[in-house]
Amino acid sequence: MKYRIDKNKLLNNFVTYAKINTRSNQWVPKDQIPSTSGQMELAQLLKQQLENLHLKDIKLNTQNGFLTALLPGNTKNSKPTIGFIAHLDTADYESSNVIPQIHPNYDGNVINFKNGLSLDSKDFPNLKNYLGQTLITGDGTTLLGVDDKAGIAGLISATAFLLKHPEIKHQPLKLAFGPDEEIGRGADNFDIKDFAADFAYTLDNGIVGEMEYETFNAAQAIIEIEGKSVHPGQAKGNLVNAISIGEKIDSLIPRQERAEMVSGNEGFYLLLEFNGKIEHAQLNYIIRDFNHDNFINRKQKIFDIVAEINKKLDYPRINLKIKDQYYNMGDIIKKDPYPLNLAQRALRNLDIKPKIIPFRGGTDGSKITYLGLPTPNLFNGGENFHGPYEFVTVEAMAKLSETIIEIVHLAQSDH
């Protein structure tokens, strides 16, 4: 079954959302929710749209920054209740004064921006997949905000379609729009009890047909090193250079297991920051692995390196703190793959080939799954996220809308 989505409305909504600066900020206190005012501006706009659609139980929770709403089912079979979640914020890249550029009937030619950058299929071969479609880009000076305003636009259009077509029987549909996904905070405060869904999907990243239910297990390692600074003339046997100790630590991280050396299902270590003077240095690593046992071993490797170097110093000068950030939601979703299988069936019914891939990162779904609500990730249709080369087509976002509609329609026939 195919559904005729109002593409003009979809386009207008996306452009409206894209123009709002919702860049999140990791440097503000964690109790500032959302981390930036633009996210609340977008949430208020969406709240008004949901009210105009006459949805039920519309709530903008100022404590956790989430906007939620209910589209009641129109069938006696009220289970399951299915949730769809998109995030309000955009990545840490220039996002003020976003000026979306519309390229109807894209012909494959180079798109030149005024600042000298360009979108060229020689550099981005996937552009050829969108010939004849309505392509949307930025102007080269900012990101576009496809991640995740394409997800928001697709969800709003799907909801409007279901309301306009009551002949399509469907389960209850819960909507959520949350803050600060890009800085890894938003989902920490999500109220799954109030959301009251049986399972959910995030709509975050990926080309049409992509799905992710496996994410990394993730941790952050912060290493603080105490040095000793003395005059170089009296340095022998006395000076302790914290920078040199930091270099030694990093040299013991296996080269072939660094982020730039791996792909697919392989885990890694990545040194994000190294700041130092003789008297003090700090290293900030992230540790990632799909396999839980490997994840534990990677963390232990860091502990062992620090312990070994500390033994050789006059006293333990290195302090290590490792904090788990999120876990591989696949370990939970594999126990009940119905949400995954349901989405694959919906895609096939729409003549879209499902592409299940491991997500080399994390989504809000990672944390929400471990809060008790299984939440794999669906595509939002965009490409080249988090920079000036972002793009999406109206047709790709419409495919997301159709997929959402088919998921809730199929769930009705299953129960």
Tens of pLDDT, residue by residue over 212-249, are 999 899 999 999 999 999 989 888 999 999 999 999 99
Residues ≥6 apart with Cβ < 8 Å to 47: 58, 60, 67
Count CA within 13 A, CB hemisphere, residue 30: 7
> How do beta strands 210-212 and 280-289 pair?
unpaired
Catalytic residue flag (residue 89): yes
In the chain, where does the domain assigned CATH 3.30.70.360 lie?
A: 217-326
Classify domain 217-326 at the CATH class level.
alpha beta
Q: 357 pLDDT exceeds 90?
A: no
Q: Report strand pairing: 111-112 vs 377-378.
A: unpaired
Does position 77 have pLDDT exceeding 80, yes or no?
A: no
- Integer Cα distance of 295 and 324 in angstroms: 10
At 373, phi and psi to the nearest 5?
-120, 105
pLDDT at residue 235 in the model: 87
The predicted-structure confidence for 125-159, as pLDDT tens digits, reads as follows: 999 999 999 999 999 999 999 999 999 999 999 99
pLDDT for residue 189 is more than 90: yes
Q: Are 34 and 24 in contact (CB under 8 A)?
A: yes
Q: What is the pLDDT of residue 1?
A: 60
Q: Which fold has domain 7-214+328-414?
A: Aminopeptidase (3.40.630)
Amino acid letter, 241: N
Partnered with residue 224 across adjacent β-strands are 282, 319
Strand pairing class (210-212; 111-112): unpaired
Quote the strand ranges of 196-339, DSSP E. 199-203, 210-212, 217-226, 268-277, 280-289, 318-326
Rounded mean pLDDT of the chain?
Answer: 95
Q: How is 57-75 classified by DSSP, letter by letter?
A: EEEE-TTT--EEEEE--SS
CA distances from 242 to 42, 220, 246, 272, 315 (A): 46, 20, 6, 18, 13
CA of residue 395 relative to chain centroid, distance: 21
Please name the residues in contact with 70: beta carbons below 8 A apart, sequence gap of 6 or more.
Answer: 55, 56, 57, 172, 173, 174, 175
Catalytic residue among 147, 180, 181, 210: 181
Residue 148 bears catalytic tag: no
147 in Cβ contact with 91 (< 8 Å)? yes
| Segments of the chain assigned to CATH 3.40.630.10 | 7-214+328-414
Does residue 414 surpass a pLDDT of 90? Answer: no
The model's pTM: 0.89
Q: Per the residue annotation, which of 89, 147, 214, 406 is the catalytic one?
A: 89
Percentage of residues in the chain having pLDDT higher than 90: 89
Amino acid 248: pLDDT: 97
